[in-house]
Structure 1
Protein backbone atom coordinates (compact mmCIF):
# COMPACT_ATOMS: atom_id res chain seq x y z
CA UNK A 1 0.00 0.00 0.00
CA UNK A 2 1.71 3.18 -1.18
CA UNK A 3 0.63 6.28 0.69
CA UNK A 4 -1.57 9.00 -0.74
CA UNK A 5 -0.75 12.61 -0.06
CA UNK A 6 -3.01 14.86 1.98
CA UNK A 7 -4.16 16.57 -1.20
CA UNK A 8 -5.06 13.21 -2.73
CA UNK A 9 -7.34 12.47 0.20
CA UNK A 10 -8.84 15.94 0.06
CA UNK A 11 -9.77 15.46 -3.58
CA UNK A 12 -11.63 12.30 -2.63
CA UNK A 13 -13.67 14.12 -0.03
CA UNK A 14 -12.65 11.91 2.87
CA UNK A 15 -14.92 12.54 5.89
CA UNK A 16 -13.73 13.17 9.40
CA UNK A 17 -12.33 9.88 10.61
CA UNK A 18 -13.79 7.89 13.48
CA UNK A 19 -11.77 5.05 14.92
CA UNK A 20 -13.91 1.94 14.40
CA UNK A 21 -14.94 -0.17 17.35
CA UNK A 22 -14.33 -3.90 16.96
CA UNK A 23 -17.75 -4.87 18.31
CA UNK A 24 -19.44 -2.96 15.48
CA UNK A 25 -18.30 -5.76 13.16
CA UNK A 26 -19.59 -8.59 15.34
CA UNK A 27 -22.89 -8.95 13.50
CA UNK A 28 -21.25 -9.64 10.14
CA UNK A 29 -21.46 -13.24 8.86
CA UNK A 30 -18.26 -15.20 9.34
CA UNK A 31 -16.18 -16.04 6.27
CA UNK A 32 -15.38 -19.74 6.04
CA UNK A 33 -12.05 -20.21 4.19
CA UNK A 34 -12.66 -23.91 3.56
CA UNK A 35 -15.92 -23.07 1.78
CA UNK A 36 -14.55 -20.00 0.03
CA UNK A 37 -11.79 -22.02 -1.63
CA UNK A 38 -12.91 -25.64 -2.06
CA UNK A 39 -10.57 -28.61 -1.79
CA UNK A 40 -8.29 -28.67 -4.85
CA UNK A 41 -9.27 -25.05 -5.58
CA UNK A 42 -6.83 -22.16 -5.92
CA UNK A 43 -6.82 -18.72 -4.32
CA UNK A 44 -5.23 -15.98 -6.43
CA UNK A 45 -4.31 -12.85 -4.48
CA UNK A 46 -3.78 -9.70 -6.54
CA UNK A 47 -1.81 -6.91 -4.83
CA UNK A 48 -1.37 -3.43 -6.31
CA UNK A 49 1.75 -2.88 -4.17
CA UNK A 50 4.04 -5.11 -2.13
CA UNK A 51 2.43 -5.32 1.37
CA UNK A 52 -1.22 -5.00 0.27
CA UNK A 53 -1.51 -8.79 0.20
CA UNK A 54 -0.46 -8.94 3.86
CA UNK A 55 -2.14 -5.81 5.25
CA UNK A 56 -5.59 -6.65 3.94
CA UNK A 57 -5.43 -10.38 3.25
CA UNK A 58 -2.60 -11.85 5.33
CA UNK A 59 -4.88 -13.64 7.77
CA UNK A 60 -6.76 -15.33 4.95
CA UNK A 61 -3.45 -16.42 3.42
CA UNK A 62 -2.49 -18.06 6.72
CA UNK A 63 -5.82 -19.85 7.02
CA UNK A 64 -5.74 -21.12 3.44
CA UNK A 65 -2.12 -22.25 3.75
CA UNK A 66 -3.13 -24.30 6.80
CA UNK A 67 -5.85 -25.88 4.71
CA UNK A 68 -3.19 -26.72 2.10
CA UNK A 69 -5.02 -24.83 -0.63
CA UNK A 70 -3.09 -23.76 -3.71
CA UNK A 71 -2.07 -20.10 -3.46
CA UNK A 72 -0.90 -17.65 -6.10
CA UNK A 73 0.08 -13.99 -5.86
CA UNK A 74 -0.07 -11.52 -8.74
CA UNK A 75 2.04 -8.47 -7.85
CA UNK A 76 0.87 -5.59 -10.04
CA UNK A 77 3.67 -3.11 -9.23
CA UNK A 78 6.98 -3.26 -7.40
CA UNK A 79 6.02 -0.29 -5.24
CA UNK A 80 8.87 1.90 -6.41
CA UNK A 81 7.03 5.22 -5.92
CA UNK A 82 6.37 4.95 -2.19
CA UNK A 83 9.10 7.46 -1.23
CA UNK A 84 8.90 10.60 -3.32
CA UNK A 85 12.03 12.76 -3.56
CA UNK A 86 14.00 10.38 -1.37
CA UNK A 87 17.75 9.92 -1.68
CA UNK A 88 17.64 6.97 0.71
CA UNK A 89 14.79 4.97 -0.82
CA UNK A 90 15.31 5.60 -4.50
CA UNK A 91 13.06 3.99 -7.10
CA UNK A 92 15.82 1.55 -8.05
CA UNK A 93 16.37 0.52 -4.45
CA UNK A 94 12.63 0.10 -3.86
CA UNK A 95 12.25 -2.06 -6.98
CA UNK A 96 14.89 -4.38 -5.56
CA UNK A 97 13.87 -4.24 -1.90
CA UNK A 98 10.08 -4.42 -1.86
CA UNK A 99 9.69 -7.72 -3.76
CA UNK A 100 12.23 -9.22 -1.35
CA UNK A 101 10.13 -7.94 1.55
CA UNK A 102 7.12 -9.72 0.09
CA UNK A 103 9.06 -12.97 -0.16
CA UNK A 104 10.11 -12.67 3.48
CA UNK A 105 6.55 -11.81 4.54
CA UNK A 106 5.17 -14.91 2.81
CA UNK A 107 7.69 -17.03 4.67
CA UNK A 108 6.58 -15.47 7.94
CA UNK A 109 2.97 -16.28 7.08
CA UNK A 110 4.15 -19.86 6.44
CA UNK A 111 2.68 -19.57 2.97
CA UNK A 112 5.68 -21.37 1.57
CA UNK A 113 4.40 -22.52 -1.80
CA UNK A 114 2.84 -19.36 -3.20
CA UNK A 115 3.28 -19.02 -6.95
CA UNK A 116 4.33 -15.37 -7.40
CA UNK A 117 3.97 -13.48 -10.70
CA UNK A 118 5.32 -9.94 -10.91
CA UNK A 119 3.75 -7.76 -13.62
CA UNK A 120 5.85 -4.60 -12.98
CA UNK A 121 3.25 -2.02 -13.93
CA UNK A 122 4.09 1.55 -12.96
CA UNK A 123 3.51 2.35 -9.31
CA UNK A 124 0.96 5.15 -9.08
CA UNK A 125 -0.11 4.83 -12.72
CA UNK A 126 -2.00 1.53 -12.79
CA UNK A 127 -5.15 3.30 -13.98
CA UNK A 128 -3.53 4.29 -17.24
CA UNK A 129 -2.73 0.62 -17.95
CA UNK A 130 -5.99 -0.88 -16.70
CA UNK A 131 -6.96 -2.66 -19.91
CA UNK A 132 -3.49 -4.18 -20.24
CA UNK A 133 -3.65 -5.29 -16.60
CA UNK A 134 -7.05 -6.89 -17.17
CA UNK A 135 -5.68 -8.79 -20.14
CA UNK A 136 -2.72 -10.12 -18.16
CA UNK A 137 -4.93 -11.18 -15.27
CA UNK A 138 -7.25 -13.01 -17.67
CA UNK A 139 -4.27 -15.05 -18.91
CA UNK A 140 -3.22 -15.91 -15.36
CA UNK A 141 -6.52 -17.01 -13.80
CA UNK A 142 -8.89 -19.90 -14.45
CA UNK A 143 -12.64 -20.34 -14.18
CA UNK A 144 -12.41 -22.33 -10.92
CA UNK A 145 -10.10 -19.82 -9.19
CA UNK A 146 -11.10 -17.56 -6.32
CA UNK A 147 -9.55 -14.13 -6.93
CA UNK A 148 -8.97 -11.93 -3.87
CA UNK A 149 -7.95 -8.32 -4.50
CA UNK A 150 -8.45 -4.73 -3.44
CA UNK A 151 -11.93 -3.20 -3.51
CA UNK A 152 -12.92 -1.26 -6.63
CA UNK A 153 -13.84 1.79 -4.49
CA UNK A 154 -10.98 1.55 -2.00
CA UNK A 155 -9.94 5.21 -2.17
CA UNK A 156 -6.49 4.64 -3.64
CA UNK A 157 -6.17 4.97 -7.46
CA UNK A 158 -3.95 1.91 -7.90
CA UNK A 159 -6.17 -0.17 -5.61
CA UNK A 160 -9.29 0.84 -7.48
CA UNK A 161 -7.79 0.24 -10.93
CA UNK A 162 -6.54 -3.17 -9.83
CA UNK A 163 -9.96 -4.02 -8.42
CA UNK A 164 -11.72 -3.00 -11.63
CA UNK A 165 -9.28 -4.91 -13.82
CA UNK A 166 -9.61 -8.02 -11.65
CA UNK A 167 -13.41 -7.76 -11.63
CA UNK A 168 -13.54 -7.53 -15.43
CA UNK A 169 -11.09 -10.43 -15.76
CA UNK A 170 -13.25 -12.55 -13.46
CA UNK A 171 -16.34 -11.82 -15.55
CA UNK A 172 -14.45 -12.83 -18.69
CA UNK A 173 -12.95 -16.00 -17.19
CA UNK A 174 -15.72 -17.12 -14.86
CA UNK A 175 -13.50 -16.90 -11.75
CA UNK A 176 -15.05 -15.92 -8.41
CA UNK A 177 -14.19 -12.43 -7.13
CA UNK A 178 -13.64 -11.43 -3.51
CA UNK A 179 -12.67 -7.84 -2.64
CA UNK A 180 -10.81 -6.51 0.40
CA UNK A 181 -11.15 -2.90 1.56
CA UNK A 182 -7.70 -1.69 2.61
CA UNK A 183 -7.24 2.07 2.24
CA UNK A 184 -11.00 2.55 2.70
CA UNK A 185 -10.70 2.02 6.46
CA UNK A 186 -8.85 5.33 6.71
CA UNK A 187 -11.71 7.44 5.37
CA UNK A 188 -14.79 5.47 6.40
CA UNK A 189 -16.31 3.91 9.49
CA UNK A 190 -18.67 1.04 10.33
CA UNK A 191 -22.06 1.81 8.89
CA UNK A 192 -20.69 4.13 6.21
CA UNK A 193 -23.22 3.78 3.39
CA UNK A 194 -20.48 3.92 0.75
CA UNK A 195 -19.43 0.38 1.72
CA UNK A 196 -21.62 -2.54 0.56
CA UNK A 197 -22.25 -4.04 4.00
CA UNK A 198 -24.64 -6.63 2.57
CA UNK A 199 -21.63 -8.25 0.86
CA UNK A 200 -19.32 -7.94 3.88
CA UNK A 201 -17.97 -10.99 5.69
CA UNK A 202 -15.71 -11.11 8.72
CA UNK A 203 -12.72 -13.43 8.98
CA UNK A 204 -11.81 -13.83 12.65
CA UNK A 205 -8.10 -14.27 13.33
CA UNK A 206 -7.07 -16.57 16.16
CA UNK A 207 -4.05 -15.56 18.24
CA UNK A 208 -1.59 -17.60 16.16
CA UNK A 209 -2.87 -16.25 12.84
CA UNK A 210 -2.87 -12.70 14.14
CA UNK A 211 0.70 -13.06 15.42
CA UNK A 212 1.88 -14.41 12.04
CA UNK A 213 0.26 -11.50 10.25
CA UNK A 214 1.87 -8.99 12.61
CA UNK A 215 5.25 -10.66 12.09
CA UNK A 216 4.77 -10.59 8.32
CA UNK A 217 3.94 -6.88 8.32
CA UNK A 218 7.23 -6.28 10.12
CA UNK A 219 9.02 -7.66 7.06
CA UNK A 220 8.21 -4.46 5.13
CA UNK A 221 11.06 -2.46 6.60
CA UNK A 222 11.08 0.08 3.79
CA UNK A 223 7.57 1.13 4.74
CA UNK A 224 8.05 1.06 8.52
CA UNK A 225 10.96 3.50 8.86
CA UNK A 226 11.01 7.30 8.72
CA UNK A 227 13.01 8.73 5.82
CA UNK A 228 15.62 11.25 7.04
CA UNK A 229 16.42 12.41 3.50
CA UNK A 230 13.06 14.11 2.97
CA UNK A 231 11.56 14.12 6.49
CA UNK A 232 8.83 11.74 5.37
CA UNK A 233 7.26 9.76 8.17
CA UNK A 234 6.94 6.00 7.81
CA UNK A 235 4.28 4.98 5.32
CA UNK A 236 3.15 2.30 7.77
CA UNK A 237 3.13 4.28 11.00
CA UNK A 238 1.51 3.01 14.19
CA UNK A 239 -1.58 5.09 13.45
CA UNK A 240 -1.78 3.93 9.84
CA UNK A 241 -1.50 0.27 10.82
CA UNK A 242 -4.42 0.34 13.29
CA UNK A 243 -7.17 -1.05 11.02
CA UNK A 244 -4.93 -3.84 9.70
CA UNK A 245 -3.95 -5.04 13.15
CA UNK A 246 -7.49 -5.82 14.26
CA UNK A 247 -8.17 -9.47 15.17
CA UNK A 248 -10.25 -9.92 12.02
CA UNK A 249 -10.30 -9.04 8.32
CA UNK A 250 -13.27 -7.86 6.25
CA UNK A 251 -14.04 -9.18 2.78
CA UNK A 252 -16.72 -8.35 0.22
CA UNK A 253 -18.08 -11.50 -1.43
Structure 2
Protein backbone atom coordinates (compact mmCIF):
# COMPACT_ATOMS: atom_id res chain seq x y z
CA UNK A 1 0.00 0.00 0.00
CA UNK A 2 1.37 3.41 -0.97
CA UNK A 3 2.36 5.90 1.70
CA UNK A 4 0.06 8.78 2.47
CA UNK A 5 1.15 11.54 0.13
CA UNK A 6 0.11 14.55 2.20
CA UNK A 7 -0.06 15.84 5.74
CA UNK A 8 -3.09 14.77 7.70
CA UNK A 9 -5.69 17.52 7.41
CA UNK A 10 -9.10 18.11 8.94
CA UNK A 11 -12.02 17.80 6.52
CA UNK A 12 -15.65 18.79 7.03
CA UNK A 13 -16.87 15.48 5.65
CA UNK A 14 -15.96 12.49 3.46
CA UNK A 15 -16.85 14.29 0.22
CA UNK A 16 -14.38 17.08 1.02
CA UNK A 17 -11.71 14.46 1.66
CA UNK A 18 -12.47 12.66 -1.61
CA UNK A 19 -12.34 15.88 -3.63
CA UNK A 20 -9.01 16.72 -2.02
CA UNK A 21 -7.62 13.29 -2.91
CA UNK A 22 -8.89 13.62 -6.48
CA UNK A 23 -7.16 16.98 -6.84
CA UNK A 24 -3.88 15.85 -5.24
CA UNK A 25 -3.64 12.76 -7.43
CA UNK A 26 -4.96 14.56 -10.53
CA UNK A 27 -7.73 12.02 -11.03
CA UNK A 28 -10.44 12.47 -13.63
CA UNK A 29 -13.66 13.14 -11.75
CA UNK A 30 -15.55 11.70 -14.75
CA UNK A 31 -13.57 8.43 -14.62
CA UNK A 32 -12.13 7.93 -11.16
CA UNK A 33 -9.44 5.31 -10.52
CA UNK A 34 -11.41 3.72 -7.73
CA UNK A 35 -8.56 1.48 -6.49
CA UNK A 36 -6.21 4.43 -5.93
CA UNK A 37 -8.92 6.59 -4.42
CA UNK A 38 -10.00 3.83 -2.02
CA UNK A 39 -6.40 3.13 -1.03
CA UNK A 40 -5.67 6.77 -0.21
CA UNK A 41 -8.98 7.22 1.60
CA UNK A 42 -8.34 4.17 3.81
CA UNK A 43 -4.83 5.45 4.60
CA UNK A 44 -6.38 8.68 5.85
CA UNK A 45 -8.88 6.76 8.02
CA UNK A 46 -6.12 4.58 9.50
CA UNK A 47 -3.89 7.57 10.24
CA UNK A 48 -6.78 9.47 11.82
CA UNK A 49 -7.55 6.50 14.07
CA UNK A 50 -3.89 6.25 15.13
CA UNK A 51 -4.08 9.89 16.18
CA UNK A 52 -7.27 9.14 18.13
CA UNK A 53 -9.42 11.41 16.02
CA UNK A 54 -13.13 11.03 16.58
CA UNK A 55 -14.28 10.37 13.02
CA UNK A 56 -17.98 10.75 12.32
CA UNK A 57 -20.06 7.88 11.01
CA UNK A 58 -20.12 9.55 7.59
CA UNK A 59 -16.41 8.86 7.10
CA UNK A 60 -16.81 5.19 8.03
CA UNK A 61 -19.88 4.83 5.84
CA UNK A 62 -17.98 6.27 2.86
CA UNK A 63 -15.11 3.85 3.51
CA UNK A 64 -17.54 0.95 3.30
CA UNK A 65 -19.04 2.41 0.13
CA UNK A 66 -15.62 2.73 -1.53
CA UNK A 67 -14.69 -0.84 -0.62
CA UNK A 68 -18.00 -2.03 -2.05
CA UNK A 69 -17.44 -0.13 -5.31
CA UNK A 70 -13.89 -1.48 -5.56
CA UNK A 71 -15.14 -5.05 -5.07
CA UNK A 72 -18.01 -4.47 -7.47
CA UNK A 73 -15.62 -3.26 -10.18
CA UNK A 74 -13.77 -6.59 -10.05
CA UNK A 75 -16.90 -8.56 -10.96
CA UNK A 76 -17.70 -9.47 -14.58
CA UNK A 77 -20.00 -6.92 -16.21
CA UNK A 78 -23.47 -8.23 -17.01
CA UNK A 79 -25.16 -7.02 -20.19
CA UNK A 80 -28.42 -6.22 -18.42
CA UNK A 81 -26.70 -4.64 -15.41
CA UNK A 82 -28.38 -1.37 -14.44
CA UNK A 83 -26.54 -0.63 -11.18
CA UNK A 84 -23.32 1.37 -11.46
CA UNK A 85 -22.19 2.47 -7.98
CA UNK A 86 -18.99 4.03 -9.37
CA UNK A 87 -20.96 6.28 -11.74
CA UNK A 88 -23.28 7.25 -8.87
CA UNK A 89 -20.29 8.27 -6.74
CA UNK A 90 -18.76 10.26 -9.60
CA UNK A 91 -22.03 12.14 -10.11
CA UNK A 92 -22.30 12.81 -6.38
CA UNK A 93 -18.78 14.24 -6.32
CA UNK A 94 -19.39 16.43 -9.38
CA UNK A 95 -22.57 17.81 -7.82
CA UNK A 96 -20.83 18.45 -4.51
CA UNK A 97 -17.90 20.16 -6.24
CA UNK A 98 -20.38 22.43 -8.06
CA UNK A 99 -22.17 23.20 -4.77
CA UNK A 100 -18.88 24.12 -3.07
CA UNK A 101 -17.75 26.26 -5.99
CA UNK A 102 -20.93 28.30 -6.10
CA UNK A 103 -21.13 28.61 -2.32
CA UNK A 104 -17.55 29.89 -2.20
CA UNK A 105 -18.25 32.35 -5.01
CA UNK A 106 -21.23 33.67 -3.10
CA UNK A 107 -19.29 33.98 0.16
CA UNK A 108 -16.45 35.77 -1.60
CA UNK A 109 -18.80 38.18 -3.37
CA UNK A 110 -20.99 38.99 -0.39
CA UNK A 111 -18.47 38.62 2.43
CA UNK A 112 -19.58 41.86 4.08
CA UNK A 113 -23.31 41.29 3.79
CA UNK A 114 -23.68 38.89 6.75
CA UNK A 115 -25.62 36.44 4.63
CA UNK A 116 -26.91 33.47 6.57
CA UNK A 117 -25.34 30.23 5.29
CA UNK A 118 -26.14 26.80 6.64
CA UNK A 119 -24.68 23.35 6.20
CA UNK A 120 -27.50 20.81 6.19
CA UNK A 121 -31.14 21.13 7.11
CA UNK A 122 -32.27 18.39 9.52
CA UNK A 123 -35.48 17.20 7.91
CA UNK A 124 -36.48 14.61 10.50
CA UNK A 125 -37.52 12.40 7.60
CA UNK A 126 -35.90 9.23 6.22
CA UNK A 127 -33.26 10.08 3.65
CA UNK A 128 -33.82 8.26 0.35
CA UNK A 129 -31.07 7.19 -2.03
CA UNK A 130 -29.80 10.28 -3.83
CA UNK A 131 -31.45 10.88 -7.18
CA UNK A 132 -29.13 12.72 -9.55
CA UNK A 133 -31.27 13.20 -12.63
CA UNK A 134 -30.30 16.85 -13.06
CA UNK A 135 -27.22 18.32 -14.69
CA UNK A 136 -25.13 20.25 -12.16
CA UNK A 137 -23.63 22.49 -14.81
CA UNK A 138 -27.11 23.42 -16.11
CA UNK A 139 -28.24 24.27 -12.59
CA UNK A 140 -25.21 26.50 -12.14
CA UNK A 141 -25.85 28.27 -15.45
CA UNK A 142 -29.52 28.78 -14.56
CA UNK A 143 -28.55 30.38 -11.26
CA UNK A 144 -26.06 32.71 -12.93
CA UNK A 145 -28.78 33.78 -15.37
CA UNK A 146 -30.97 34.71 -12.41
CA UNK A 147 -28.19 36.79 -10.83
CA UNK A 148 -27.38 38.50 -14.14
CA UNK A 149 -31.05 39.29 -14.72
CA UNK A 150 -31.36 40.82 -11.25
CA UNK A 151 -28.22 42.91 -11.75
CA UNK A 152 -29.56 44.22 -15.07
CA UNK A 153 -32.77 45.60 -13.53
CA UNK A 154 -33.13 49.36 -13.36
CA UNK A 155 -32.71 50.46 -9.73
CA UNK A 156 -34.73 53.58 -8.95
CA UNK A 157 -34.14 55.63 -5.76
CA UNK A 158 -37.30 54.13 -4.27
CA UNK A 159 -36.21 50.60 -5.11
CA UNK A 160 -32.72 51.28 -3.77
CA UNK A 161 -34.08 52.44 -0.43
CA UNK A 162 -36.17 49.29 -0.19
CA UNK A 163 -33.19 47.07 -1.04
CA UNK A 164 -30.80 48.52 1.52
CA UNK A 165 -33.49 48.27 4.16
CA UNK A 166 -34.18 44.61 3.44
CA UNK A 167 -33.65 42.26 6.35
CA UNK A 168 -31.18 39.39 6.03
CA UNK A 169 -33.00 36.35 4.63
CA UNK A 170 -32.42 32.94 6.20
CA UNK A 171 -32.11 29.76 4.17
CA UNK A 172 -34.65 28.15 6.49
CA UNK A 173 -37.36 30.63 5.53
CA UNK A 174 -36.68 30.07 1.83
CA UNK A 175 -36.86 26.30 2.25
CA UNK A 176 -40.41 26.74 3.52
CA UNK A 177 -41.14 29.10 0.61
CA UNK A 178 -39.79 26.64 -1.99
CA UNK A 179 -41.69 23.67 -0.55
CA UNK A 180 -44.93 25.65 -0.35
CA UNK A 181 -44.58 26.82 -3.96
CA UNK A 182 -43.88 23.32 -5.28
CA UNK A 183 -46.76 21.81 -3.29
CA UNK A 184 -49.11 24.42 -4.71
CA UNK A 185 -48.01 24.25 -8.35
CA UNK A 186 -46.63 20.67 -8.60
CA UNK A 187 -44.05 21.66 -11.24
CA UNK A 188 -42.08 24.89 -10.93
CA UNK A 189 -39.43 26.31 -13.26
CA UNK A 190 -36.14 26.96 -11.47
CA UNK A 191 -36.17 30.65 -12.40
CA UNK A 192 -39.73 31.08 -11.09
CA UNK A 193 -38.52 30.74 -7.49
CA UNK A 194 -36.66 34.03 -7.91
CA UNK A 195 -39.40 36.11 -9.58
CA UNK A 196 -40.40 37.84 -6.34
CA UNK A 197 -36.90 38.24 -4.88
CA UNK A 198 -36.22 41.83 -3.83
CA UNK A 199 -32.56 41.56 -2.83
CA UNK A 200 -29.38 39.67 -3.52
CA UNK A 201 -29.52 38.04 -0.09
CA UNK A 202 -32.98 36.69 -0.94
CA UNK A 203 -31.65 35.27 -4.22
CA UNK A 204 -28.71 33.62 -2.47
CA UNK A 205 -30.85 32.16 0.32
CA UNK A 206 -33.36 30.82 -2.22
CA UNK A 207 -30.67 29.12 -4.27
CA UNK A 208 -29.04 27.54 -1.21
CA UNK A 209 -32.49 26.37 -0.08
CA UNK A 210 -33.01 24.60 -3.42
CA UNK A 211 -29.57 22.98 -3.21
CA UNK A 212 -30.22 21.72 0.31
CA UNK A 213 -33.61 20.30 -0.66
CA UNK A 214 -32.01 18.50 -3.61
CA UNK A 215 -29.27 17.12 -1.39
CA UNK A 216 -31.82 15.97 1.19
CA UNK A 217 -33.84 14.22 -1.52
CA UNK A 218 -36.95 16.31 -0.90
CA UNK A 219 -36.90 17.75 -4.42
CA UNK A 220 -36.46 16.03 -7.76
CA UNK A 221 -35.88 17.65 -11.12
CA UNK A 222 -37.14 17.28 -14.64
CA UNK A 223 -36.28 19.09 -17.85
CA UNK A 224 -38.53 20.83 -20.34
CA UNK A 225 -36.41 22.09 -23.20
CA UNK A 226 -33.94 24.56 -21.69
CA UNK A 227 -35.90 24.82 -18.44
CA UNK A 228 -35.05 22.95 -15.24
CA UNK A 229 -38.30 21.94 -13.52
CA UNK A 230 -38.50 21.34 -9.78
CA UNK A 231 -40.92 18.71 -8.51
CA UNK A 232 -41.67 17.28 -5.09
CA UNK A 233 -40.21 13.89 -4.14
CA UNK A 234 -43.47 12.26 -3.07
CA UNK A 235 -41.64 9.27 -1.56
CA UNK A 236 -40.26 11.56 1.14
CA UNK A 237 -42.53 14.60 1.43
CA UNK A 238 -46.13 14.02 2.37
TM-score bracket for this pair, using the shorter chain length:
under 0.3
- TM-score computed with the length of structure 1 as normaliser: 0.20
- TM-score computed with the length of structure 2 as normaliser: 0.20
| Structure (1 or 2) with the greater helix fraction | 2
Greater RCO (Cα-Cα under 8 Å, separation 6 or more):
1
